[in-house]
Amino acid sequence: QVQLVESGGGSVQAGGSLRLSCAASSHLPPGRCLGWFRQGPGKEREGIAFIRTPSDRGYTTDSVKGRFTIDRDSTKNTVYLQMNSLKPEDTAMYYCAYVADTYFRVPTACPRGLTQYNVWGQGTQVTVSS
């Protein structure tokens, strides 16, 4: 069973940047989806970025488009979330997750909802102050 470990969270002022990492414990086969999700205080967990192996670039949702990017280093079994122009409303616990048992033929098939993601990391906190 693959395990995921996030890192890179912290406190930053508005306008700053952070780069989150999600390290997988083993190689991920092709056609698998990974996603970054976040859950702010009093909010539901939402998906914000998705990538399909073996691609090294993925896509983001409209809520973070233009500020966040997702990419992957296959040599390190690691997925990254680059976050720029951070806003206080980006404050949340950030999680990466993986769909372990489904082959996705194209990157846009990666699900945006939580239910199919069956492997989760422990999360990393991001706090953005104004």
- pLDDT tens profile 46-100: 999 999 999 888 999 999 999 999 999 988 899 999 999 999 999 999 999 999 9
Q: What per-residue confidence (pLDDT) applies to 103? A: 93
**Percentage of residues of the chain with pLDDT beyond 90:** 91
Q: Note whether 64 and 47 are within 8 A (CB).
A: no
Whole-number average pLDDT of the chain:
95
**Peptide bond just before 54 cis, omega within 30 deg:** yes
Residue 75: predicted pLDDT: 87
User: Which of 61, 80, 62 lies closest to 71 in space, CA to CA?
Assistant: 80
pLDDT one-digit tens code per residue, 15-31? 999 999 999 999 999 99
